[in-house]
Structures are given as structure tokens and as C-alpha cells.
Structure 1
Amino acid sequence: MKHVRAVVKDPKAVVHSLRHNMKDRLRVAGVSKPTQDMILGHSSGGVGEDYGSDEARLRVAMDAMLAVERLK
């Protein structure tokens, strides 16, 4: 929380609310649920989650975050 407080002055903003805001933004940007889960650190529990390269997962996450940024 000390890192959040260093940049966010709203006393109602907490780490958990920032995650909720990001989830909303990812949804509005049309990002798929598996990609949302990857960005937010959630696990779907599927074995296939680990398939593919780190570079591919990073590219998908980057494209999703850029989609969110374009909504501003």
C-alpha cells in the first residue's frame, strides 16, 4: 500500500480496487478472459496455461494493455 499511496491520493483507492479497475478496463477493451487472467495473475487451473513461450505470452499481454491504453 505504501507504493500506491506514493502515487494515488484518493484514500479509498487500495490495491484491490486498482485490480478491479483494471479488470473493468480489460473487459471494455474486449480482452479475452484467459488474457485478463494472465495480466491480473489469476489462474484458470488448466494445464494448457503453461503451453507456449514466455515471449508469446508477453506479446499477448502487451497487446491487451495497449488496447486498454487506446480507450483513454
Structure 2
Amino acid sequence: MSTARLSVLRTAVAQRPGPWTTQKVRRLYAAQGIPAPFRGTARRDLDQVAREGLLTRDDSDPNRRVFRRPKGAAR
């Protein structure tokens, strides 16, 4: 895992509310000029940030993998 890539994701999660999906992460990386074209890369990065406690996985829709900031998380 790229430390720089994860740092960009952590910062974005802290600054931008709302759901986080693999597609949103891929768009973020593209906008930042970070080469991460595969969905699996975004998925692994989201899982890592969730393990760190910055996001939680929302399994309410079985057809979509969504992560959200935990309730009461600092902005």
C-alpha cells in the first residue's frame, strides 16, 4: 500500500462528509494524479482506513460496498 495514497484518502475522509465508495476513491485518486486505476486498490485502501477507525462499513445495501465516518467522529 502506498503511504502517500493512504494519506490522501485519510485527509479526504476527514474533510468530506458522506458515503465513501470505491468509485469515489478512484475519482479522488485520479483528481490528485495518483495512479490507482483498479477497483481492488480503492477497496483495499478503504478497508485499511476502516481498520484504522476512520470509517465503518455500512452493509445495509447488500449490492453496494459503502463506508461512512463513524457517528460522533471528529470533523
TM-score category, normalised to shorter length:
0.3 to 0.5
TM-score computed with the length of structure 2 as normaliser: 0.34
Q: Between Structure 1 and Structure 2, whose CA radius of gyration is higher?
A: 1
TM-score computed with the length of structure 1 as normaliser: 0.35
